[in-house]
A and B are shown apart, each in its own frame.
Chain A
Amino acid sequence: QTVVTQEPSFSVSPGGTVTLTCGLSSGSVSTSYYASWHQQTPGQAPRTLIYRTTTRSSGVPDRFSGSILGNKAALTITGAQADDESNYYCVLYMGSGSWVFGGGTKLTVL
């Protein structure tokens, strides 16, 4: 079974830019995988940031952006803020109604 891969952890300085990625254990991610990104702080429900690779969800600041970088989906945070410190999960559509989440990236802002 194909595994969705994410960096386990990442750190960024306040005001800095960070790019998190979402790949496949076998193959390349394209727009056909409808990549989505969800933010979750401990004890809270997830919140959708980006869907269909590049579309920002309503109310999400434009410093969050999605793209395809090489063979992976990517989430870029420009001008990181302290409250961006969260876990970030990508999810990919595998076809036949099946969705698979990555293991998540714990982002630290310091």
Chain B
Amino acid sequence: QVQLVESGGNVVQPGGSLRLSCAASGFTFSAYGMHWVRQAPGKGLEWVAVISYDGSTKYHADSVKGRFTISRDNSKNTLYLEMKSLRAEDTAEYYCAKDVDMWGNGWFPIGNWGQGGLVTVSS
């Protein structure tokens, strides 16, 4: 079955950087677009970024554009989120998620979710 396992969450100082990873298994990773979604403590879900199945197309939310970058390594079945210039408001649980269908280029909805990884931005 589909498994998505996030790692790399940590406590980081404001202005710092961090890279989240999401290890995928149970499906053909290279055939599916992937998303990152975050949730600040006690708040709702916020879409962060999406990447196409082959990594050629990427979109980011305005709130993270220019600071965060989504990427993937299909040879390692792994999704990444590179985060720079972190702010206190980036503190959240970060979920990776898989498209419902194959060959998505950013406009396929989410069908499966990981368990999340916590990023805390604090001095």
Supply 16 A–B pairs (Cβ within 8 Å), ascending by A: A34-B109, A45-B113, A45-B114, A45-B116, A46-B45, A48-B112, A51-B110, A55-B100, A93-B109, A96-B59, A97-B58, A98-B47, A99-B47, A100-B47, A101-B46, A104-B45
Name B69-122 residues within 8 Å CB distance of A: 95, 100, 106-107, 109-116
From B44, B46, B107, B113, A48 is in contact (CB under 8 Å) with: B113
* Residues on the B chain within 8 Å of A99, using CB: 35, 47, 50, 109
Whole-angstrom distance between the alpha carbons of A89 and B44 in the complex? 8
Residues of A within 8 A of B37 (CB): 46, 101
Q: How far is the CA of A96 from the CA of B114 in the complex (A)?
A: 25
> A91 interface residue, CB < 8 Å from B?
yes
The answer, yes or no, to whether B11 is at the interface (CB within 8 Å) is: no
Other-chain contact of B50, A34, A38, A97 (Cβ < 8 Å): A97
Chain B proximity of A37: nearest CB distance (Å): 10
Instruction: Say yes or no: B110 contacts A97, CB within 8 Å.
Output: no
B109:A101 contact, CB within 8 angstroms: no
A103 within 8 A of B: yes
Inter-subunit contact B116/A91 (CB<8 Å): no
Residue interface mask A63-79, B partner, CB < 8 A = 1: 00000000000000000
Closest 7 CB pairs of A and B: A97-B59, A97-B106, A99-B47, A51-B109, A36-B109, A104-B44, A101-B45
State the CA gap A27–B58 with chains docked (Å): 27
Chain B residues with Cβ below 8 Å from A45 are: 95, 113-116
Determine if A57 is an interface residue (Cβ-Cβ < 8 Å).
yes
Q: Give CA–CA (A89, B113) in the complex, Å.
A: 14
Contact indicator B109/A97 (Cβ below 8 Å):
no
Q: Type the 1/0 row for A39-57, where 1 means its CB is closer than 8 Å to any CB of B.
A: 0100001111001100101
Encode contact with A along B41-59: 1 for CB under 8 Å, 0 otherwise: 0001111001000000111
